[in-house]
């Protein structure tokens, strides 16, 4: 766990990562609602995703809190995975927790034989884009007017890929 401490920004809470199961569905749903998405996931949707054997779900926990302050979900297919969602609680953003969480998640995917990881991020979400690029993701495409926004407008998606092998 020393590698986790090295990734944290100074003054950030100690953190640990771990796989999530359906007991955390309510917490994942609450976090997803903080993610700025036009439609947040409900606990039942989160439980179904977490229970799906093709989905890998990791959480990050600050200090001794038994509830995650962030999560990442990926769906595996053959030797590829798509990151479906990554959210860090508003109160813990800019502490380096996203980097720790994604690092642990990508290591787990690599151990499971995943060779390529894909994700989409809203064009203009600079903090997320910078994080993904710093981990080695590169842009491979764009989807114009892909995301519906809460104000009724549309935003493009940047499609990114990371080669693990």
Q: How many CA atoms lie within 13 A of 153 on its CB side?
A: 4
Name the active-site residue from 45, 80, 129, 132: 132
3-state DSSP assignment of residue 165: coil
Alpha-carbon gap, residue 33 to 31, rounded angstroms:
5
132 has catalytic annotation: yes
Name the active-site residue from 45, 82, 120, 147: 120
Alpha-carbon gap, residue 153 to 162, rounded angstroms:
29
Residue with tokens 């944290």, as numbered in its chain? 8
Q: Of 154, 164, 40, nearest to 107 (Cα)?
A: 164
Residue ranges in the chain assigned as alpha helix (H): 2-7, 25-33, 43-51, 97-111, 126-134
Residues written for the chain: 165
Q: What angle do CA 27, 77, 3 make, to 5 degrees?
A: 55
147 has catalytic annotation: no
Catalytic residue positions, numbered:
120, 132
């Amino acid at each position: 766990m020393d590698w986790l401490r090295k990734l944290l920004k100074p003054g950030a809470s100690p953190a640990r990562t771990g796989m999530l199961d359906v007991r955390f569905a309510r917490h994942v749903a609450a976090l997803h609602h903080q993610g700025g998405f036009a439609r947040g996931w409900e606990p039942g949707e989160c439980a179904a995703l977490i229970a799906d054997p093709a989905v890998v779900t990791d959480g990050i926990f600050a200090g001794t809190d038994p509830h995650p302050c962030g999560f990442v979900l990926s769906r595996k297919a053959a030797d590829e995975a798509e990151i479906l969602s990554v959210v860090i609680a508003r109160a813990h953003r800019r502490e380096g927790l996203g980097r720790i969480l994604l690092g642990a998640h990508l290591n787990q995917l690599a151990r499971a034989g995943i060779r390529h990881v894909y994700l989409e991020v809203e064009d203009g979400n600079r903090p997320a884009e910078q994080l993904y690029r710093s981990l080695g993701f590169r842009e491979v495409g764009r989807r114009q007017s892909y995301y519906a926004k809460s104000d009724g407008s549309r935003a493009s998606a940047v499609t990114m890929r990371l080669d693990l092998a």
